[in-house]
């Protein structure tokens, strides 16, 4: 198995944001306002207890559609100050308006973010040439490394293989959060570019590693981060049996956290653990007692206790 070591070493150098990133929820107080103290507590927990290499702030899981630009900047500043010497902070800045995205990128850079997550413009369904123009304009306007976010079931438009290959030529476009669910397309791009692919679907992390992915930007990793880190490390070390056992163990939670919109169940689970979360903002709705009971069962099935 001597080939395992050079493969692992080669993979390690192309991990600009580490192995495990969590798309962190944004804690709110009981009245729905931003809870910065809670955000700092949660960020420290995710880094120190759940083994995250980086946190993604102001993503969809962080309720970016319903937080203001000022709240986004304050959140980045607080979390960077809390964990910036121990983990990286990636700021979600993507919108369906190129000008607004550039403004958010500048704000995040000023606030101390280490990288940017830029989602495909949603709802207005630009053609592939529009995606190239959008992502290139954002990359040209910042000094930070960029992770593209390819999630066609939310955005309405996939980032096609040839588009990704073209965008990979930009010095600052270094990674992809891949939530396309198409491992063939992933294989084609990882084979043709140096882009670091991170699975954007918790349940596909292990198979994604086999086609060139380097890690995960997760949601269930609020609870499974440390074990997901172990799973990826086992795969890298040439121990696919251990990795598969961990994948199978965690699968009930990898999938269970998405029985309804992921933010809803993560916040419910964090509240049960006594960690900062608070309510969700409309149009999301807080988890029902039945949904919380099911989440508790899914956690138990994964060998994790939810009080």
**If phi over 0 gives left and psi between -120 and 50 gives alpha, with beta otherwise, what is residue 20?**
beta
Inter-helix orientation angle 240-256/289-301, to 10°: 170
Strands (E), the chain: 20-23, 54-57, 88-92, 115-119, 146-150, 173-178, 196-199, 215-218
How do 115-119 and 88-92 pair as beta strands?
parallel
| 8 Å CB contact between 18 and 88 | yes
DSSP bridge pairs for 218: 22
Alpha carbon distance 222, 55 (integer Å):
10
| Distances from the Cα of 108 to the Cα of 56, 130, 180, 216, 247, angstroms | 12, 23, 26, 22, 34
Catalytic: which of 72, 177, 180, 267? 177
| Distances from the Cα of 215 to the Cα of 196, 220, 230, angstroms | 9, 14, 11
Active site residue 72: no
Tokens of 54: 């980086």
Catalytic: which of 72, 122, 149, 180? 149
| 8 Å CB contact between 21 and 50 | no
Active site residue 180: no
Tokens of 227: 């074990």
Task: Indicate which residues carry an active-site annotation.
Answer: 149, 177
């Amino acid at each position: 198995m001597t080939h395992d070591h050079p493969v692992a070493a080669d993979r390690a150098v192309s991990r600009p944001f580490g192995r495990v990133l969590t798309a962190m929820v944004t804690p709110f107080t009981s009245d729905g306002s931003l809870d910065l103290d809670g955000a700092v507590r949660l960020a420290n927990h995710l880094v120190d207890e759940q083994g995250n290499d980086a946190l993604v702030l102001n993503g969809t899981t962080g309720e970016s559609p319903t937080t203001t630009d000022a709240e986004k900047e304050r959140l980045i500043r607080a979390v960077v100050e809390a964990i910036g010497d121990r983990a990286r902070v990636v700021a979600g800045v993507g919108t369906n308006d190129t000008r607004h995205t550039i403004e958010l990128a500048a704000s995040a850079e000023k606030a101390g973010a280490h990288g940017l997550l830029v989602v495909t413009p949603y709802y207005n369904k630009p053609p592939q040439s529009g995606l190239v123009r959008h992502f290139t304009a954002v990359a040209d306007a910042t000094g930070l490394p960029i992770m593209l976010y390819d999630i066609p079931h939310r955005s309405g438009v996939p980032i096609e293989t040839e588009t990704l290959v073209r965008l990979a030529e930009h010095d600052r476009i270094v990674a992809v959060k891949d939530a396309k669910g198409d491992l063939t397309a992933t294989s084609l791009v990882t084979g043709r570019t140096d882009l670091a692919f991170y699975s954007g679907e918790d349940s596909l992390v292990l198979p994604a590693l086999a086609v060139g992915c380097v890690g995960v930007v997760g949601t269930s990793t609020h609870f499974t981060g440390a074990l997901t880190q172990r799973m990826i490390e086992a795969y890298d070390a040439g121990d696919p049996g251990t990795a598969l056992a961990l994948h199978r163990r965690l699968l009930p939670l990898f999938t269970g956290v998405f029985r309804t919109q992921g933010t809803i169940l993560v916040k419910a689970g964090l509240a049960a653990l006594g960690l900062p979360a608070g309510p969700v903002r409309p149009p999301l709705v807080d988890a029902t007692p039945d949904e919380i009971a099911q989440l508790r069962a899914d956690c138990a099935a994964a060998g994790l206790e939810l009080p």
